[in-house]
Amino acid sequence: MGRGSSYKVRANILSTVVTRIPFVSIRHREVGQNTMKLIILDHYSQASEWAAKYIRNRIIQFHPGPDKYFTLGLPTGSTPLGCYKKLIEYYKNGDLSFKYVKTFNMDEYVGLPREHPESYHSFMWNNFFKHIDIHPENTHILDGNAADLQAECDAFEEKIQAAGGIELFVGGIGPDGHIAFNEPGSSLVSRTRVKTLAMDTILANARFFDGDLAKVPTMALTVGVGTVMDAREVMILITGAHKAFALYKAIEEGVNHMWTVSAFQQHPRTVFVCDEDATLELKVKTVKYFKGLMLVHNKLVDPLYSIKEKETEKSQSSKKPYSD
């Protein structure tokens, strides 16, 4: 990443590169160019909206169809709620459809009945699936009540393979830096498996179980770090001051199995989307550098595409995606 070089210079180089290739779409520009982007917005709502716009553009520009599904990895928890709300809004306005989208959730508790209000099945149904036009057969969530848990995990990996791999895996980060339920100490090449939850995670989840630690499940099925690393692109949502230290460990320190999100520094295409509060533990220099790149990064969400505008695709090629 060359942290020694001035961020201003880098920003200028990038914008020069960009104006020299006026007719190439964003996707083509990215091929062969490994990137780690840190997108910083002022507030949670703006971070959620940016992430939702990014997902929307990615799906629409992929041109999904009956023979070409867009495979999306999805998280649960309070962080992605704002993003889900915006995606639902886009669907309700007719700008986005999930008809040709396949989803794979990251994790699910073991032993919690599927209909329990705190199960991840319930979360996805109430916060996303019931509001959009996705077909149930295109959704995949690990079954924490399967008779053979490891077989369930292996089958999940196979389903991902059968779907052609994940195009974009959206995830969150725990206060202990974990991705999905890959707790500190997890293997960075792990696959989908059964995990015992760390105390930090159980404490963080207690608020969903009436604050009663005894009620929180202690085991979960989770995709591995390796599973998410296989995705063609990864987007991590990190908001709130309580996640700031984990973000610091993920971005400014090395790749470390004690902070499993740091593994994505070695992923060819990662986007971290966060709000101001989540950057509280980062160096001022880092924050300024990435904020300076927002002009460029915002081109990923502007123009914002819509399925309503079929003509946009045709006129796109005559329109420069980036202004001078």
Partner 1 sequence: MRDGKGASRAPVLRFTNCRILRGRRLLREDLWVREGRILDPEKLFFEERLVADQQRDCGGCLLAPGFIDVQINGGFGVDFSQATEDVGSGVALVAQRILSHGVTSFCPTLVTSPPEVYHKVLPQIPVKSGGPHGAGVLGVHLEGPFISREKRGAHPEAYLRSFEANAFHDVLATYGSLDNVRIVTLAPELGRSHEVIRALTARGICVSLGHSVADLQVAEEAVQSGATFITHLFNAMLPFHHRDPGIVGLLTSDRLPPGRHIFYGMISDGIHTNPAALRIAHRAHPQGLVLVTDAVPALGLGNGRHTLGQQEVEVDGLTAYVAGTKTLSGSIAPMDVCIRHFLQATGCSVESALEAASLHPAQLLGLEKLKGTLDFGADADFVMLDDSLHVQATYISGELVWQAEEARQ
**What are 276's two structure tokens?**
């101001």
The candidate with the shortest Cα–Cα distance to 297, out of 8, 2, 63, 35, is 35
Closer residue to partner 1 in complex, CB, 113/164: 113
- 230 has catalytic annotation: no
The correct pick among 85, 99, 232, 288 for binding partner 1 (CB under 8 A) is 99
Going through the chain in order, the beta strands assigned E by DSSP cover 35-41, 70-74, 101-105, 107-109, 139-140, 168-171, 193-196, 219-222, 234-238, 269-275
Which of 49, 108, 167, 176 is catalytic? The answer is 176
The candidate with the shortest Cα–Cα distance to 275, out of 90, 85, 49, 74, is 49
The correct pick among 69, 84, 120, 129 for binding partner 1 (CB under 8 A) is 129
* Residue 67 contacts partner 1 per CB under 8 A: no
For partner 1, the binding residues in 105-124 under the rule CB under 8 A are 114-115, 121-122
**Measured distance CA(174)–CA(180) in Å, rounded:** 8
For partner 1, the binding residues in 208-267 under the rule CB under 8 A are none
From residue 134 to residue 153, the character string flagging contacts with partner 1 as x (rule: CB under 8 A) and all else as - is -xxx-x-x------------
- Which phi and psi (to 5°) does residue 318 adopt? -95, 0
**Measured distance CA(283)–CA(160) in Å, rounded:** 38
Q: Min. distance of Cβ 298 from partner 1 in angstroms? A: 34
* Residue 181 contacts partner 1 per CB under 8 A: no
Which residues participate in catalysis according to the annotation?
107, 176, 178, 183
* Contact set with partner 1 (CB under 8 A): 99, 114-115, 121-122, 125-126, 129-130, 133, 135-137, 139, 141
